[in-house]
């Protein structure tokens, strides 16, 4: 019982610390000077250098989804609805969540390890002594880069994933490119696109905040750096599903209204 209470105390303490860290991020974001150059550099590092991994995974996932669903749709005589179903499933859920999980593993762990290494080698302390605001330079720039680039990566994954699905459908069912994408875009409405885009921004916020928090306050030593990178991925992945669940609930309320 005592162990459970201590675990609960640590949990709420961690939640409070992350909340305070998030508040500090927003309060520092719009104060001068704004680190435009570092933010653009992080956009390149976080976005462009993750593009191949995200698109390759999206392509494979789109192809696999078509291969898995096609026999079932044939059994029910609904094979003509394959483009409709793939597009709604990929745009609403698979594209954003899959991309966010990939970025949690690549970007979240990278940020946690990078800032953790800087913490261990006292580079963050050196920046404070030299008059530089390390929080704005290291944290704010990286979190905003995640917020900006993740929706773009999701769009790229969606497009390539639908292309992967089309290649399977064209080889199995002899459907033309024009007909396939007419069906894809014909079934989509703003209610599919807007919630998926909005939650992508929140996914980026979660990845950036947790990665930076774990790295910025990592324990001393190489063990602390490894733990920071590992926990950044674990906590971020869990929170992504929580955010996705909340986003789906909110979107469902608007659909009902």
Span 208-254, pLDDT tens digits: 999 999 988 887 777 788 888 888 899 999 999 999 999 888 877 76
Rounded distance, CA 144 to CA 90, Å?
25
Q: Is 11 among the domain residues? A: no
Tokens of 253: 């309320």
- pLDDT for 254 equals 61
Residue given tokens 């674990």 in the structure block: 234
User: How far, in whole angstroms, is CA 99 from its chain's centroid?
Assistant: 6
The pLDDT assigned to 23 comes to 92
- Per the domain annotation, does 28 fall within a domain? no
Place of tokens 């992350």: 18
pTM attached to this predicted model: 0.90
Residue 30 lies in a domain: no
Q: Per the domain annotation, does 76 fall within a domain?
A: yes
Residues of the chain with pLDDT below 50 are 256-257
Residue 16 lies in a domain: no
The pLDDT value recorded for residue 186 is 85
Determine, yes or no, domain membership for 197: yes
Q: Is residue 4 part of a domain?
A: no
Has residue 25 been placed in a domain? no
Q: What is the model's pLDDT at position 256?
A: 46
Structure-block tokens of residue 64: 């696999």
Structural domain tally of the chain? 1
Range of the domain at 134: 35-256
Residues 140, 143: Cα–Cα separation, whole Å? 5
């Amino acid at each position: 019982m005592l162990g459970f209470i201590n675990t609960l105390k640590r949990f709420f303490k961690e939640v409070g610390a992350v909340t305070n860290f998030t508040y500090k991020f927003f309060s520092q974001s719009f104060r001068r000077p704004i680190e435009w150059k570092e933010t653009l550099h992080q956009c390149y590092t976080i976005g462009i250098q993750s593009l191949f991994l995200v698109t390759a995974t999206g392509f494979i996932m789109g192809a696999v989804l078509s291969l898995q669903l096609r026999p079932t749709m044939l059994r029910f005589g609904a094979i003509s609805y394959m483009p409709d179903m793939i597009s709604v499933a990929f745009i609403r859920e698979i594209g954003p969540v899959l991309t966010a999980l990939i970025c949690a593993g690549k970007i979240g762990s990278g940020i946690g390890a990078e800032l953790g290494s800087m913490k261990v080698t006292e580079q963050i302390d050196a920046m404070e002594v030299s008059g530089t605001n390390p929080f704005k330079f290291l944290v704010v720039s990286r979190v905003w880069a995640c917020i900006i680039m993740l929706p773009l990566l999701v769009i790229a994954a969606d497009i390539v994933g639908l292309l992967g699905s089309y290649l399977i459908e064209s080889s199995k069912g002899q459907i033309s490119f024009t007909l396939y994408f007419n069906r894809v875009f014909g079934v989509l409405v703003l209610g599919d696109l807007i919630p998926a885009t909005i939650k992508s921004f929140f996914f980026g916020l979660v990845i950036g905040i947790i990665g930076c928090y774990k790295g910025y306050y990592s324990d001393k030593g190489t063990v602390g750096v490894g733990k920071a990178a590992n926990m950044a991925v674990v906590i971020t992945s869990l929170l992504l599903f929580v955010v996705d669940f909340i986003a789906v609930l909110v979107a469902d309320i608007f659909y009902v209204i």
